[in-house]
Amino acid sequence: MSLILNIDTAVAGASIALSQGSEILASATNEAAKESAGWLQPAIKELMQAGGYPLSALDAIAVSVGPGSYTGLRVGMASAKGLCYALQKPLIAISTLEMMAAAAKKVVPEAELYCPMIDARRMEVFTAIYNRVLQPIVPPHNLILDAHSFSDLLAAHRVCIFGNGSDKFKPLLKEGQALFATIYPHAVQLAELALEQYKKGHFADIAYTEPFYIKAFYTTQARS
């Protein structure tokens, strides 16, 4: 039965989970986003040791690839790829938005569509819309929210809206069938999707897989 290490550092803080088949054996979380880089590797070591497994026992490593925090995504991807390379294990890359939609589907089964929103500052979010079988009805993109965002879909369907970017959308809505829920990313939510990819043999290229930022990263240069 497949033993998979699941890593998520995409949104707020970092989390890891060890899964065997469909069972979660153990998990750990660090909510301090700025500490992800220093926390992640020691936490993985402790998690594996607590379960009595050497790293070599892993069958694959799964990571949420974004969108989300630029720094967080780089930390998670670098850790996952480094372990895969060193251990000669396959890498499984999962969209953070799809991972969130999979979690929402279990919490709000009455919804017809699932709309995760990740805060991208000001009134902008990273978002997508998935149906009940997690097919993207609206593909992942960045969006500046206004009162008309997704108006056609909201008028015709029961849409579950959630994530740390959804709070700024709620006050804009006056009509529609929006179902707001509190659901945030966690590595535990990766396990089911990662298992599906593992069974299908859908693995990412360790050399060329990169975080899915959606928007290009930029920074200001310090004045001399």
pLDDT, mean of each 10-residue run, the chain (224 residues):
95 93 95 84 96 97 96 95 98 97 96 97 96 97 96 95 95 85 92 97 96 72 50
Q: Which amino acid is at 100?
A: M
Query: Which DSSP category does 123 fall into?
Result: T
pLDDT of residue 224: 47
pLDDT of residue 81: 98
Distance CA 172, CA 191 (A): 34
**Closest by Cα among 14, 65, 60, 69 to 38:** 14
Spatial strand order in the sheet of 124-130: 136-144, 124-130, 113-119, 159-162, 178-181
pLDDT of residue 221: 52
* Start-to-end CA span in the chain (Å): 57
Q: Which amino acid is at 62?
A: A
Distance CA 56, CA 59 (A): 8
Contact 210, 64 (CB under 8 A): no
pLDDT of residue 31: 83
Residue 87 φ/ψ region, left for φ over 0, alpha for ψ in the -120 to 50 degree band, beta for the rest: alpha
**Closest by Cα among 72, 57, 39 to 2:** 57
